[in-house]
Amino acid sequence: MEKHTIIITVANRIGVLARIAGLLSSRGFNIDSIIGAPTENPDIYKIHLVVGGTEQRIEQVTKQLNKLIDTVKIVDISHKKNYIVREFILIKVKAQKNRSEILELINVFKAKVVDMTRTHITIDISGPTLKIERFIDLLRPYGIKEFVRSGKIAVSED
Amino acid sequence: MTGAEILIDALKKEGVDIMFGYPGGVVIPIFDVLYRDKEINLILTRHEQGAAHAADGYARASGKVGVCLVTSGPGATNTITGIATAKLDSIPIVVISGQVRTNIIGTDAFQETDMAGLTRSICKHNYLVQKTQELPQIIKEAFYIARSGRPGPVSLDLPLDVVTAKLKNYSYPKKVNLPGYNPTIKGNPRQIKKLAQAIKDAKKPLIMSGGGIISSGTSDELLKLLEMTNIPIVITLMGLGSIPTDHRLFLGMPGMHGRVAANYALTECDLLIAIGTRFDDRVTGDLKTFGKNAKIAHIDIDPAEIGKNVETDIPVVGDIQNVLNDLLGMIKPRIPNEWNRTTAGWKEKYKLGYKQQKTGEILPQYVVDRISHLAEQNAIIVTDVGQHQMWAALYCNHKKPRSFLSSGGLGTMGFGLPAAMGASMAYPDRMIINISGDGSIQMNIQELATCAINEIPVKIAVLNNTYLGMVRQWQELFWDRNYSKTCLKQTLHCPHDCKGPGKDCSQVYRPDFVKVAEANGIIGLRAAKPSEVDSVIKEGFRTKGPVLMEFMVRRVESVYPMVPGGKPINEMIIG
Ligand SMILES: Cc1cc2nc3c(=O)[nH]c(=O)nc-3n(C[C@H](O)[C@H](O)[C@H](O)COP(=O)(O)OP(=O)(O)OC[C@H]3O[C@@H](n4cnc5c(N)ncnc54)[C@H](O)[C@@H]3O)c2cc1C
Ligand SMILES: Cc1ncc(C[n+]2csc(CCOP(=O)(O)OP(=O)(O)O)c2C)c(N)n1
């Protein structure tokens, strides 16, 4: 079951996020991540969605989402190359002994330290999903206390 | 003008002159405007479910948008079944409900329910109006959305303060502003060309049409296509009446209770042209074997229907009207061939039939057959849900579109009587017949009073088999005749494990429908013997005003043909 990243452009109307989420759950989809936020145009709102499903089921639900009156445009960018995809993440990692190693990793990955205590470092990193996952992976041995991910967002290349 | 006055004015601008409804606290301001108004006639039903189905029946019969108006909370929730019924059958209705004041929404206020949340998955679109200024634009959009593209129900939730507040410069908008909503109307010429070529190449072509022909009003185009191509046709429950039942190319309704010829043709054809039909599982049976020999072309206005249940070789998204006109311009006459003879042979060989004896039990098929024969030419048949619905579909002589109204997708028992009232309000001069079952009729029987008081001349035929017959049939065939809670005669004194009526069953049926009719001020008639059937129908049809006719039919008759759920549709129990 492949994950699909879908960008939905909708009219900025009351309840629109609930409509999208409601349709997905009524059609039996589990949402991996969903982000909704206003855009440069106050009438338009953009939703970034990650869901898993077979190609055929995703196509069907995309059509259903497109049918919603408030949906202006919908693109499944999973197989599209011309999109810049980013994810943002905050990570709290144990850092008493191996501080310098961790700081080095942060440096290599162009991440940022946003907070530091005697026991922990909190890091902020953004980038393509693959980079983020690799970063998390490398931090794991030190002991990750907590992380939060934003889910994916994307823009098309011109 | 107040929001309420704006609403009523806007409804008139949308051409509404009849609506159905029920009052309550937060909608008093709207009812107050109606009190002074002379142009809109609001029929007070006895239950909000009745109001929603009546609006639906009005829409099905007339093709116009049906409207109902109810109060918040329980009034609004009572319409839910009606909205879902309209959604599944793509029927344009606008359901207007009251709501508590905007500043107390979300506080569990008295009679507050989240109507927008409740209806989200069962309507085409919904609105919770926030400000009176938005009201004109939203009403405009609601009607436009309900009737355009693939039609459907729209819910409009109006908080009390929105309808009482005043707006200085009201004008009803001429245009909608819906950037995300542009139903595809023109079919892709390349695909239509492909379809024309496929018709030319096919040896065993078949058309399957459905509800889309009715909603797009394209019976004439369909008939033209048939005349030109001589392609045999099957028509789903929702499409019945698109062409006359006695058309030479018509093989019958397909599906679970479809005719043998129709299901054989679907299984054998090499080109299936589906027009305005959504491959419901009652029609396709086992999807693995459905149309397995065929190239499939699908014409539908809703892109989401294409490829949803069956894989499509030639997808044509567009309005049937345009697509058929384009197609008609591209094809040449086709001469009937071997396939025409084969399909006609099936139709001849597997005729529908029943054997009514002169005495003894009345067969339900016979009642339906007689009703259809004795009805006026342009009568509208409205059914409930169950065996009687299937017999009505199979045995009535369907002549015209919008003259067979039935809850197909949701299968809502209790739809019939209120929907028949709605149809009657659309066509006061036509004969409206509600064919119902003794179970279904009780689900909205309170509307008998509405018919009596408003002199709505619905002819109600109750086929009383004393069972929830359709469910009983499944129990008979697949559950070892364990008639669990399907006998409406079962009393405290009956054996718990009754396997069906013996000669010694002496229980009395409740209620006495003739008395119920009479208590409501409606004439009640009963036929208990075959010889009484014609006279009851004739008297019922002759009598002015609403009539309830009860037919005591054979208790354990079953509907055949039947395809057991999930089986290939050519594996039928013929009965
Ligand atoms: C007890 C019971 C048993 C049943 N058994 C059977 C059975 O044996 N056989 C049977 O056929 N049905 C049966 N039904 C009904 C079944 O459940 C479905 O309701 C029915 O088959 C749906 O028909 P449809 O797809 O043709 O029409 P609809 O559900 O009305 O769908 C219409 C289609 O047309 C499209 N459309 C609408 N307007 C346009 C336009 N302007 N241009 C292009 N496309 C348009 C819509 O997008 C939609 O896809 C049964 C129902 C019950 C309750
Ligand atoms: C509101 C509702 N509840 C339950 C059902 C399930 N159901 C389908 S047919 C049927 C029996 C209908 O009985 P009746 O109206 O007497 O008609 P008959 O089948 O006997 O002709 C039932 C219970 C339904 N379709 N609708």
Answer for the pair B143, B14: CB distance below 8 angstroms, yes or no.
yes
Same domain? A62 vs A93: no
Per-residue pLDDT at A40: 94
CA distance B55 to B41: 13
Q: What is the mean pLDDT of residues B104-131?
A: 96
Per-residue pLDDT at B502: 80
CATH number of the domain within which A148 lies: 3.30.70.1150
* Residues in chain A, total: 158
On whether residue B322 sits in a domain, the answer given is yes
Same domain? B50 vs B146: yes
Return the half-sphere exposure (C-beta side, CA atoms, 13 A cut-off) of residue B547.
20
Tell me if A69 and B302 make a contact (CB, 8 A cut-off).
Answer: no
CA distance B450 to B62: 20
Per-residue pLDDT at B503: 78
Same domain? A68 vs A91: no
Per-residue pLDDT at B355: 96
pLDDT per position as a tens digit, B434-474: 999 999 999 999 999 999 999 999 999 999 999 999 999 99
CATH number of the domain within which A44 lies: 3.30.70.260
Query: Which residue type occupies B12?
Result: K
With beta carbons under 8 A apart, name residues in chain B contacting A70.
Answer: 180
On whether residue B473 sits in a domain, the answer given is no
On whether residue B177 sits in a domain, the answer given is no
- Of A30, A55, A76, the residue at which a domain comes to its end is A76
Q: What is the mean pLDDT of residues B107-131?
A: 97
Per-residue pLDDT at A62: 96
Give B121→chain A minimum CA distance, Å.
7
With beta carbons under 8 A apart, name residues in chain A contacting B145.
Answer: 69
Same domain? B83 vs B206: no
Same domain? A109 vs A138: yes
Same domain? A6 vs A48: yes
User: B403 pLDDT band (50/70/90 cuts)?
Assistant: very high
pLDDT per position as a tens digit, B261-319: 999 999 999 999 999 999 999 999 999 999 989 999 999 999 999 999 999 999 999 99
A59 near B CB under 8 A: yes
Choose between A55 and B404: higher pLDDT. B404
Per-residue pLDDT at B164: 98
User: What is the value of pTM for the model shown?
Assistant: 0.96
Answer for the pair B216, B325: CB distance below 8 angstroms, yes or no.
no
A72 near B CB under 8 A: yes
With beta carbons under 8 A apart, name residues in chain A contacting B124.
Answer: 69
On whether residue B94 sits in a domain, the answer given is yes
Tell me if B304 and A64 make a contact (CB, 8 A cut-off).
Answer: yes
Q: Tokens in use for B104?
A: 């107390």
- Of B324, B349, B374, the residue at which a domain comes to its end is B349
Per-residue pLDDT at A20: 96
Q: Is B90 helix (H, G, I), strand (E, B) or coil?
A: coil
CA distance A26 to A17: 14
The DSSP-derived string for B436-497 is EETTGGGGGTTHHHHHHHHT--EEEEEEE-SB-HHHHHHHHHHSTT--TT-BTT--TTS-TT
Same domain? A9 vs A59: yes
Q: Which domain holds residue A61?
A: 2-76
Is B568 touching ligand 2 by the criterion CB < 6 Å?
A: no
Same domain? B375 vs B252: no
- H-run or E-run covering B295: strand B295-300
**Which of A10, A15, A60 minimises the CB distance to B304?**
A60
Q: Which domain holds residue B342?
A: 189-349
Say how many domains are in chain B.
3
- ipTM at complex level: 0.86
Same domain? A107 vs A72: no
First to last CA, chain B: 64
Is B384 touching ligand 2 by the criterion CB < 6 Å?
A: yes
Instruction: Compute the C-alpha angle B78/B79/B82, nearest 5°.
Output: 130
Give A50→chain B minimum CA distance, Å.
20
- Of B349, B374, B393, the residue at which a domain comes to its end is B349
- H-run or E-run covering A92: strand A83-94
Same domain? B204 vs B153: no
On whether residue B182 sits in a domain, the answer given is no
Per-residue pLDDT at B16: 98
A14 near B CB under 8 A: yes
Query: Which residue type occupies B156?
Result: L
Same domain? B142 vs B200: no
Encode A53-89 in three state secondary structure.
CCHHHHHHHHHHHHHCCCEEEEEECCCCCCEEEEEEE
Per-residue pLDDT at B159: 98
CA distance B433 to B368: 11
pLDDT per position as a tens digit, B55-99: 999 999 999 999 999 999 999 999 999 999 999 999 999 999 999
Tell me if A66 and B303 make a contact (CB, 8 A cut-off).
Answer: yes
Same domain? B342 vs B385: no
Per-residue pLDDT at B184: 87
Worst-scoring range by mean pLDDT, A14-18, B196-200, B376-380, B423-427?
A14-18
Q: Nearest residue CA, atom 4 of ligand 1? A: B282
Per-residue pLDDT at B550: 98
Same domain? B148 vs B202: no
Q: Which residues of B79-89 are buried (b: 16+ CB within 10 A; e: fewer)?
A: bbbbbbbbbbb
Atom of ligand 1 nearest to the CA of B320: 42
Same domain? B418 vs B332: no
On whether residue B284 sits in a domain, the answer given is yes
Q: Tokens in use for A19?
A: 């409509």
Percentage above 90 pLDDT, chain B: 97
Same domain? B325 vs B389: no
Please state, rounded to an integer, the average pLDDT across all residues of chain B: 97
**CA nearest B180: which of B224, B141, B221, B234?**
B141
Same domain? A90 vs A137: yes
- H-run or E-run covering B341: helix B338-349
Phi, psi of A82 (to 5 degrees): -85, 35
Candidates A63, A64, A65, partner chain B, best to mutate (most B CBs within 10 A): A63
Q: Closest chain B residue to A14 measured between Cα atoms?
A: B128
Per-residue pLDDT at A158: 83
Per-residue pLDDT at B506: 86
Atom of ligand 1 nearest to the CA of B302: 47
**Which of A60, A63, A69 minimises the CB distance to B180?**
A69
CA distances from B123 to B26, B60, B93, B153, B239 (A): 23, 16, 10, 5, 22
Same domain? A114 vs A150: yes
Q: Enumerate chain B positions whose Cβ falls within 8 A of a Cβ in A.
A: 116-117, 120-121, 124-125, 128, 130, 145, 178-181, 302-304, 307-308
User: B575 pLDDT band (50/70/90 cuts)?
Assistant: confident
Same domain? B406 vs B528: yes
Is B413 touching ligand 2 by the criterion CB < 6 Å?
A: yes
Same domain? A40 vs A94: no
CATH number of the domain within which B318 lies: 3.40.50.1220
Per-residue pLDDT at B175: 95
Say how many domains are in chain A.
2
Give B301→chain A minimum CA distance, Å.
11
**Which of A67, A69, A73 minimises the CB distance to B304?**
A67
- H-run or E-run covering B373: helix B364-374
Q: Tokens in use for B270?
A: 């090499």
With beta carbons under 8 A apart, name residues in chain A contacting B120.
Answer: 18-19, 22-23
Same domain? A94 vs A47: no
User: B371 pLDDT band (50/70/90 cuts)?
Assistant: very high
- Please check the confidence at residue B226 and state whether its pLDDT lies above 90: yes
User: B238 pLDDT band (50/70/90 cuts)?
Assistant: very high
pLDDT per position as a tens digit, B28-45: 999 999 999 999 999 999
A11 near B CB under 8 A: yes
- Ligand 2 centre to CA of B431 (Å) is 25
Q: Is B105 helix (H, G, I), strand (E, B) or coil?
A: coil
- Please check the confidence at residue A34 and state whether its pLDDT lies above 80: yes
On whether residue B515 sits in a domain, the answer given is yes
Give B295→chain A minimum CA distance, Å.
19
pLDDT per position as a tens digit, A82-131: 999 999 999 999 998 889 999 999 999 999 999 999 999 999 999 998 99
With beta carbons under 8 A apart, name residues in chain A contacting B179.
Answer: 11, 72
Per-residue pLDDT at A97: 85
Count other C-beta atoms under 10 Å from residue B571's C-beta: 13
**Which of B128, B180, B307 minimises the CB distance to A70?**
B180
Q: What is the mean pLDDT of residues A66-85?
A: 94
**CA nearest A76: which of A5, A154, A143?**
A5
Which one of the ligands is nearest to B555 CA? 2
- Please check the confidence at residue A14 and state whether its pLDDT lies above 90: no
Q: Using alpha carbons only, how large is chain A's radius of gyration in Å?
A: 18
CATH number of the domain within which B368 lies: 3.40.50.970
- Please check the confidence at residue A1 and state whether its pLDDT lies above 90: no
With beta carbons under 8 A apart, name residues in chain A contacting B138.
Answer: none
Tell me B238's DSSP state: G
With beta carbons under 8 A apart, name residues in chain B contacting A23.
Answer: 120-121
Same domain? A97 vs A149: yes
Per-residue pLDDT at B384: 98
Same domain? A56 vs A118: no
Percentage above 70 pLDDT, chain B: 100
Per-residue pLDDT at A2: 85
**CA nearest B229: which of B212, B204, B211, B209?**
B204
- Of A76, A92, A125, the residue at which a domain comes to its end is A76
Candidates A16, A54, A69, partner chain B, best to mutate (most B CBs within 10 A): A69
On whether residue B491 sits in a domain, the answer given is no
Same domain? B29 vs B138: yes
Q: How many CB pairs under 8 A join A and B?
A: 43
CA distance B337 to B436: 41
**Which of A11, A22, A56 minimises the CB distance to B180?**
A11
Return the half-sphere exposure (C-beta side, CA atoms, 13 A cut-off) of residue B327.
30
Same domain? B386 vs B531: yes
